[in-house]
Amino acid sequence: METAEIRRLIALEDNHWWYRERRAILRRELRGLGRPGRALDIGAAGGGNTRVLVEEGWDATATDTSATAIELARQRGIKAVWADARELPFEPDSVDLVTAFDVLEHIREDHLVTAEIARVLAPGGHVLIAVPCDMALWSAHDHAVGHVRRYHRDSLTGVVEKAGLQVQRIWSWNVLLRPLVVRHRRRSQGSDLRQMPAMVNAGLSAIVAAERYLPVKSLKGVSLFLHARLGG
């Protein structure tokens, strides 16, 4: 992700409906994992998700390939190190959880990333992944934010299982707003990251939050979430 895009994300993520709900999803998933331990947040940008890990009791380290992201994360009091997700500077079996939200789609050799995740995870460790889904949604936004692909369920589970990780669950997110996103992306001329009117933000927040209670996770959405474990 480019420096300007990272700064834009950090300026928006505290209140933007998309990032707020994804942090809520992360928090709910963490509370189902049991006792906190050591965690890595790969591709953390400014560390918005890393803060959730810390708040939930994890000893969390943010990683990114952007020096700007690392500096900004540290300014926010987050432990952060520069690291390429394809070659993580951590010992084997050294962490209990890896989070990788919006990372794999930026890296052509995504299989190297999942292999590294499996290497650093301790036996029984968890990984939580989020990616954009469905190449039918490919647009100028994907080009602007540096995507090289969007995933389908089979392609995501395939690259995860190839690394020796065991998929526990995979589900769609942002299902209710998919028709609106499809329409918007057809006219998109760049990144969707921008400030929006408070009333619009509140309305979108309410719609996407409703998915917590509706049986829509098997339908087509805008993103995919995956939870996997390392056997042992």
The pTM score is 0.92
Q: Please state, in angstroms and rounded to a whole number, the distance separating the CA atoms of residues 42 and 19.
A: 16
Which of 195, 98, 185 lies closest to 136 in space, CA to CA? 185
Q: Provide the mean pLDDT of the chain.
A: 92
pLDDT band, very low/low/confident/very high, at 43 (cuts 50, 70, 90):
very high
Report whether pLDDT(67) > 70: yes
Q: What is the largest CA-CA distance in the chain?
A: 49
Q: For 48-52, what is the mean pLDDT?
A: 95
Provide the residue range defining the domain that includes 209: 3-230
Domain count, the chain: 1
Q: What is the CATH number of the domain that holds 31?
A: 3.40.50.150
Report whether pLDDT(232) > 80: no
Which of 123, 156, 163, 153 lies closest to 217 in space, CA to CA? 153
Report pLDDT digits (tens) over 172-206.
999 999 998 888 777 766 566 667 888 999 999 99
